[in-house]
Structure 1
């Protein structure tokens, strides 16, 4: 059984102009890091011209598809009938994307089948993480 789920999705980048540009994004969930999800943006959609990935909690995404969630760098909220808004706050500015809620729910169902909510701790390798921490401290 695979330990990683990747799912392509179409997002609409909200710009200051009225039009919204559609960009491909990749949602990623890895049971090695069971509390987190990653969303990768392709180089043309970033200020740096290189792929950028944001990492945030799976719980935030799950909560945000139904009600506004988040107060930090990543905020998620429903928008209309079939969209979810994800805001990414960085020193360079704020990026706002709209994604179909159905795509996010499908991704979350797949992640849930890999690691059920409340069972994340069973997939942590604390010995390995502690060894890495100690190695970095030396």
Structure 2
């Protein structure tokens, strides 16, 4: 059985003044890091941003608003189109405001990706090898 899941989605980046533009979102889940989903956003072969998201938070964001820090997620509906709204806050600008990006993903595609991750590691069955990590740290002095 695979220990990872990878899915590429076309998502919509909300660009100030121009509306939405399509970008690629490469979602990756690896059983070696069972709590995280890596999201790499790219356009024209260039990486725009890379974020590590909490898998449980990503799942909860499909059902209701979550997040109060740098990442905020919530469901958004446009008619029959069900979306997940992802808001990312970045570094502080010289004027004190923060860089901000809003991305809309098709919610059923995100839910399908999460279902695939649950086949790799079921929620609640995540394990972090703390004992092995400590042994490695202590052995290297």
Asked if these proteins are the same fold (TM beyond 0.5), I'd say yes
Match of 1:125 in 2: 129
When the two structures are aligned, how many residues end up with a matched partner?
132
Q: Tell me which protein shows more strand as a share of its residues.
A: 2
State TM-score, norm by structure 2: 0.83
CA RMSD of aligned residues (A): 2.2
State TM-score, norm by structure 1: 0.85
2:70 is the counterpart of 1:66:
no
In 2 relative to 1, CA 77–132 (structure 1 residues): closer, same or farther, beyond 3 Å? farther
In 2 relative to 1, CA 57–44 (structure 1 residues): closer, same or farther, beyond 3 Å? same
The alignment partner of 2:12 has SS state of strand
Match of 2:95 in 1: none
Match of 1:112 in 2: 118
Query: Which ranges in structure 2 are unaligned for 5 or more consecutive residues?
Result: 93-98
Q: Tell me which protein shows more helix as a share of its residues.
A: 1
Contact 1:10 1:22 in 2 (8 A): yes
The alignment partner of 1:42 has SS state of strand
Measured in 2, the distance between the counterparts of 1:30 and 1:99 equals 21
The alignment partner of 1:104 has SS state of helix
Query: Which ranges in structure 1 are unaligned for 5 or more consecutive residues?
Result: none
* 1:91-102 → structure 2 map (5 Å cutoff): 91=91, 93-102=99-108
Alpha-carbon offset, residue 56 of structure 1: 1.5
Match of 1:8 in 2: 8
